[in-house]
Amino acid sequence: MKDIIFLLLTGLIAAYLCWYFWQRYNLNKAPHNIYYLMGFAVLLVSGLLLIFLGLGILSSPYVLTVASLIPLGISMGLAEEYFPAWKKYFKWFAVIGFLAIAVTSIGGMDTLKKIAVPLFHGVAGLVIFIGPFVAKGAPKGFWWVGIGGVLIGLGGIALAFISLGKQLLFFSPTFVMLILTPLLFLMTGAFALGFAKKG
């Protein structure tokens, strides 16, 4: 019951953020809003799947692949909006990362998957974490997005290690499943607080 409540709350915030970025895109057609929208739309769909199908679907290579669009989408949005000098290179990094995660996960290439998933999840998480603190012209309070980046990085990497049959620090499979839904809720709430500062 706890998991369903947290997932419902996460879904409500994610749905609001999808609406918010769609409205912003319609105002100025800025592509970064589409990248943000993609990330939160995948989060919304993932949350609904977890409600209806249970946490067991996290072991599916297809779910792992699609869920990688959450950090990749948000990090691409940050690169597009605040770091134009390297946004082109980061887009290529994100596309290659998504394909690498898809091929190694769905193809059962466990050795390469052990490299691809932590690498691309980790870099995307670092961009979301560090980016808001160093972005020029970002509104006051935008650092909340960075807090969301810490949470998405921890959760994503911990899940990745579990999917590989290993443990990250004290993130045992039991512990990760215990904190996963509250972590998703706190992460989405932090993103909402940060992005709301954009007006």
Q: How many CA atoms lie within 13 A of 20 on its CB side?
A: 18
Confidence of residue 19 (pLDDT cuts 50, 70, 90): very high
Please give the average per-residue pLDDT across 25-47, as a whole number: 92
Confidence of residue 67 (pLDDT cuts 50, 70, 90): confident
Pick the range with the lowest mean pLDDT from 17-21, 113-117, 135-139: 113-117
Whether 184 contacts 47, CB under 8 Å: yes
Whether 97 contacts 72, CB under 8 Å: yes
DSSP-assigned states of every residue in the chain: -HHHHHHHHHHHHHHHHHHHHHHHHHHH--HHHHHHHHHHHHHHHHHHHHHHH-GGGGG-HHHHHHHTHHHHHHHHHHHHHH-TTTHHHHHHHHHHHHHHHHHHHHTT-HHHHHHHHHHHHHHHHHHHHHHHHH-TTPPTTTHHHHHHHHHHHHHHHHHHHHHTT--BTTB-HHHHHHHHHHHHHHHHHHHHHHHHTT-
Structural domain total, the chain: 1
Distance (Å, whole) CA 28 – CA 179: 38
Identify the residue with better confidence: 168 or 1.
1
Pick the range with the lowest mean pLDDT from 52-61, 93-102, 120-129: 52-61
Distance (Å, whole) CA 31 – CA 75: 13
CA 183 to chain centre: 12
pLDDT above 70: residue 199:
no
pLDDT of residue 143: 92
Q: Is 196 exposed, middle or buried (0-12, 13-18, 19+ CB in 10 A)?
A: middle
Identify the residue with better confidence: 44 or 105.
44
pLDDT of residue 142: 92
Across 54-58, 66-70, 117-121, the highest mean pLDDT is recorded for 66-70
Q: What residues make up the domain containing 73? A: 2-196
